[in-house]
Amino acid sequence: MVNTHILVAGLGNITHPMTRHSIGHLIIDVLANRLGLYLAPDRVGYTARTDVQVGDDSVTLTLFKPKTLMNISGRPVVQMLRQTAVKPTNMIVIHDSLDHKPCTVSPKFGGSANGHNGVRSIIDALGGDKDFHRLRVGIGRDGDPANYVLGPLSPQERQFWGSTGGGPDLVWRELTRILEKSIKSR
């Protein structure tokens, strides 16, 4: 039986941890922690790999967070994709979303970047291919978007997305749904 390999890339700004814009990085850290993994540094980012059971099937997951700033994260994400999952449909990108309520997760497959520069950078690095999964993590909207996304997560958001909060459970549930679909489609 062929093993499915999925790349889960969390977007953020390595220079601005624990901000709304770096929620993708935080979620990768928490998932790695929950899975008992160490995110090893390399030239382009931090990576961990493990096999997980989804029903009767084994799926290889690679967790990745790029070291580059959000708006230029496409090249390292696509480089990691080519080293692991090979095709864009086997990639899940976790990123912040101003258009969704705080502490929510909204899955999406394909389509435009909806103004998100990190997602746009990935689409550009893929040569225009938009056929990959996204988990849009709601951060809401308040005031100037540029200042808001670089603002610190509220205590409630930090608790919700932290190791013992409900946010990682929401993310894992959506990841599992995508993994199940990937297994069925192979």
- Domains of the chain, by residue range, sit at 4-185
Tens digit of each residue's pLDDT (9 = 90 or more) over 105-155: 999 999 999 989 999 999 999 999 999 999 999 999 998 988 999 999 999
pLDDT score, position 186: 65
Task: Give the predicted TM-score (pTM) of the model.
Answer: 0.95
Instruction: Tell me how far CA of residue 65 lies from CA of 31, 73, 140, in angstroms.
Output: 12, 9, 23
pLDDT score, position 56: 84
Q: For residue 182, name the pLDDT band (cuts at 50, 70, 90).
A: confident
CATH of domain 4-185: 3.40.50.1470
In the set 5, 21, 95, 133, the catalytic residue is 21
Q: Burial letters for 80-97: b for 16+ Cβ neighbours within 10 Å, e otherwise?
A: bbeebbeebbbbbbbbbb
Segment 34-48 shows an average pLDDT of: 95
* 74 vs 55, residue with greater confidence: 74
Q: Is 116 a catalytic residue?
A: no
